[in-house]
Amino acid sequence: MAKKKERKIELDSKDRAILRALEENCKVPYKEMGRNLGFVASTIHARVKRMEEQGVIKQFSALVDPDKLDYHVNAILGLSVDPTKISDVGNKISEIPEVRLVASSTGNHDLLVHILVPDNSRLGELILKIKSIDGVLQGAGNIHISIFTRVYKDSHYVEPIVERETAPDV
């Protein structure tokens, strides 16, 4: 099913600067953020409120370091799934607490699953649990496991797209 196209949200350079500052540290008081950006606090407040209402800002949350909480195995599973059961399988896998992301995809696998667990033993248990879900295809090539060995970048920042003026044809 095609995703319904939503109305485009217009963001100006002030909005983008505020988003960048919030994603860097959302605990900075608006007054201090305003000093850093050259805006008054009431401008920051009004724009943040508008972006929340528009759904640009979904929530404010803490970014936790998984290693500090003894989650040392970060893995991606690529799953081939019965095409008639992709939604059911995706929803079932989404119920597993250690699963951070479940997404249908194009390419070699129907679903990609991001898992964060304390150790390889727990990862093995979850893989067996996922393999037992009705609709997950079994056999060679249907399930691929990739464990992260080093993370070079882990960012949640989303750069707002700036409309570019097209250069005139020469």
User: Which domains are assigned to the chain?
Assistant: 13-53 (1.10.10.10), 66-147 (3.30.70.920)
Angstrom distance (rounded) from CA 170 to CA 167: 9
User: Is pLDDT of 163 > 80?
Assistant: no
Task: Tell me the two tokens of residue 89.
Answer: 């399988």
| Residue 164: per-residue pLDDT | 53
Angstrom distance (rounded) from CA 52 to CA 15: 12
Q: Once rounded to an integer, what is the mean pLDDT over residues 59-86? A: 92
> Residue 90 — very low, low, confident or very high, per pLDDT cuts 50/70/90?
very high
> Residue 128 — very low, low, confident or very high, per pLDDT cuts 50/70/90?
very high
Angstrom distance (rounded) from CA 10 to CA 57: 13
Q: Is the pTM of this model over 0.85?
A: no
| Residue 40: per-residue pLDDT | 95
CB within 8 A of 109, min separation 6: which ones?
Answer: 78, 79, 80, 144
| Nearest Cα to Cα of residue 23 among 53, 51, 52, 63 | 63
> pLDDT tens digit string along 19-64?
999 988 999 999 999 999 999 999 999 999 999 999 999 998 888 8
| Residue 158: per-residue pLDDT | 78
Q: Which DSSP helix (H) or strand (E) runs through 129?
A: helix 120-131
Task: Tell me the two tokens of residue 149.
Answer: 């060995």
Residue 88 in contact with residue 96, Cβ under 8 Å? Answer: no
CB within 8 A of 11, min separation 6: which ones?
Answer: 19, 51, 56, 160
